[in-house]
Amino acid sequence: PLGTGAFTEETGQEKQDAQEKGRAVPPERAEEAKLKAKYPNLGQKPGGSDFLMKRLQKGQKYFDSGDYNMAKAKMKNKQLPSAGPDKNLVTGDHIPTPQDLPQRKSSLVTSKLAG
């Protein structure tokens, strides 16, 4: 809700717009309609769990060393199926290789703020 306290030209304008629109849809609902039009399958739950689960799972990588080693043993000289162009999604049917996982090295360079 538009709050009390600061008066700025921006909020003054917004209030005016809302009054003019009167019966029109508030901006947030209009934006929601836009989003639903683009993504009709978007979850029914407002905000909520999908984002939270994604937030909790940040950093999760999928690399099964067992699968990898067994596949390596079976295939021997054959080429291992490697990850597709989207290297960030190393999961599912193909066997990820260590090369597919993005390299994490610590910064060897000094921060440019100190330069």
Minimum distance between the CB of residue 14 and another protein, rounded to whole angstroms? 5
Minimum distance between the CB of residue 33 and another protein, rounded to whole angstroms? 9
Residue indicated by tokens 């508030």: 26
Minimum distance between the CB of residue 24 and another protein, rounded to whole angstroms? 12
Other residues' Cβ atoms within 10 Å of the Cβ of residue 111: 7
Mark residue 22 as left, alpha or beta (left: phi above 0; alpha: psi -120 to 50; beta: remaining).
left
Between residues 77 and 115, which has the closer beta carbon with respect to another protein?
115
**What's the Rg (C-alpha) of the chain?**
25
Between residues 76 and 112, which has the closer beta carbon with respect to another protein?
112
The binding site for another protein (CB under 8 A) comprises 1-11, 13-14, 17, 26-32, 34-36, 38, 42, 46-49, 51-53, 55-56, 58-63, 104-107, 109-115
Residue indicated by tokens 């043993």: 73
Contact between 80 and 71 under an 8 Å Cβ cutoff? The reply is yes
Minimum distance between the CB of residue 78 and another protein, rounded to whole angstroms? 26
d(CA 77, CA 72): 9
Between residues 29 and 72, which has the closer beta carbon with respect to another protein?
29
